[in-house]
């Protein structure tokens, strides 16, 4: 089975252009299931063949996960990984029938994402001390995150050649190595200009390890997603926010505020880099919930 899994992961990388994180997630889910099959069949995992795994075995695996009270999202993800794997095996002619075709995968719980209000975002971006080198950088990070809605991985993976402050554009590489161009707002452009002219040269002098990286850490290396999360946490604690303040909350805030102010859903989908419109539609539910709360709070007979 391991050789077939290796082939599947290579297929995801070369033909599906899947990201490193996606491939790792598939690998973990498949190995987890293989461990269960090994124990149930009382066989060494390396001796198990695709034909050994049938619908009954998958139903037992599904029952075990439910017994362990795993979330619907985790169960759905693991079963989806196996369904995709067996679909690949059918395509390759290894097996004739996908045993997961006859099993209903539980629907994922669609939780409304956490987001910041416009006033909360304003307080956060006004908190860095721009007279300090790192404060100047932090403001550029915050304004870029909120001004573009990009993922934290896209932010820290950006290089200086990806940004055009004159045209107010940023080129980012998203999931599946898909590139897109996102516009930069005036606040983000001003913050980036100040950072590139005043702060980045000072940080770059500390190390020549990452000369192309757009955002640098205090040692001159490329800023990591952990570094971005840490600075957001630090500023949110200073503001005493009682909600999650992480890079993805900024992304949620960007999308929610865009839709609240009349942006087209398709345009927001393109800006966020979502492959499916259904992924973006969760923000319309978020806006509806907000409208409902405003109505219930404001109307005398709500």
Could you list the active site residues?
Answer: 151, 175, 248, 251, 274, 283
- Contacts of residue 177, defined as CB under 8 A and 6 or more positions apart, other chains included, come to 17, 19
C-alpha separations of 34 from 48, 83, 92, 266 in Å = 8, 13, 20, 40
Q: Report the distance separating Cα 295 and Cα 302, nearest Å.
A: 7
Q: Report the alpha-carbon distance of residue 194 to residue 210 in Å, rounded.
A: 20
* Beta strand residue intervals within the chain, DSSP E: 163-164, 169-173, 179-183
Is 91 buried (19+), middle (13-18) or exposed (0-12) by CB count in 10 A?
exposed
Give CA separation, 111 vs 122, 268, 286, in Å.
25, 19, 10
The pair of three-digit structure tokens given for residue 258, joined into one six-digit string: 């865009």
């Amino acid at each position: 089975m391991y050789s077939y899994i290796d082939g599947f992961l290579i297929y995801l990388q070369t033909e599906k252009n899947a990201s490193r994180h996606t491939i790792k997630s598939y690998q973990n889910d498949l190995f987890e299931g293989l461990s269960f099959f090994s124990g149930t069949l009382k066989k060494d995992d390396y001796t198990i063949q695709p034909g050994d795994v049938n619908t009954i075995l998958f139903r037992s695996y599904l029952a075990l996960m439910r017994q362990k009270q795993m979330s619907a999202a985790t169960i759905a993800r693991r079963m989806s990984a196996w369904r995709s794997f067996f679909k690949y095996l059918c395509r390759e002619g290894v097996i004739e029938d996908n045993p997961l075709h006859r099993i209903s995968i539980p629907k994922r719980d669609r939780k409304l994402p956490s987001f910041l209000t416009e006033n909360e975002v304003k307080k956060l971006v006004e908190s860095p001390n721009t007279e300090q080198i790192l404060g100047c950088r932090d403001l550029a990070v915050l304004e870029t995150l909120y001004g573009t809605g990009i993922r934290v991985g896209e932010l820290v993976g950006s290089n200086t050649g990806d940004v055009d402050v004159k045209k107010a554009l940023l080129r980012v590489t998203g999931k599946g190595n898909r590139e897109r161009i996102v516009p930069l707002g005036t606040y983000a452009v001003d913050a980036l200009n100040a950072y590139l002219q005043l702060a980045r040269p000072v940080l770059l002098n500390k190390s020549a390890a990452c000369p192309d990286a757009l955002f640098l850490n205090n040692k001159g290396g490329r800023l990591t997603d952990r570094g971005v999360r840490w600075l957001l946490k630090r500023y949110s604690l200073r503001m005493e926010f009682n909600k999650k303040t992480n890079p993805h909350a900024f992304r949620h805030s960007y999308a929610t505020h865009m839709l609240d102010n009349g942006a087209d859903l398709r345009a927001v989908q393109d800006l966020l880099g979502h492959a499916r419109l259904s992924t973006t539609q969760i923000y319309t539910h978020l806006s509806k919930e907000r409208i409902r709360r405003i109505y219930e709070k404001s109307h005398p007979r709500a």
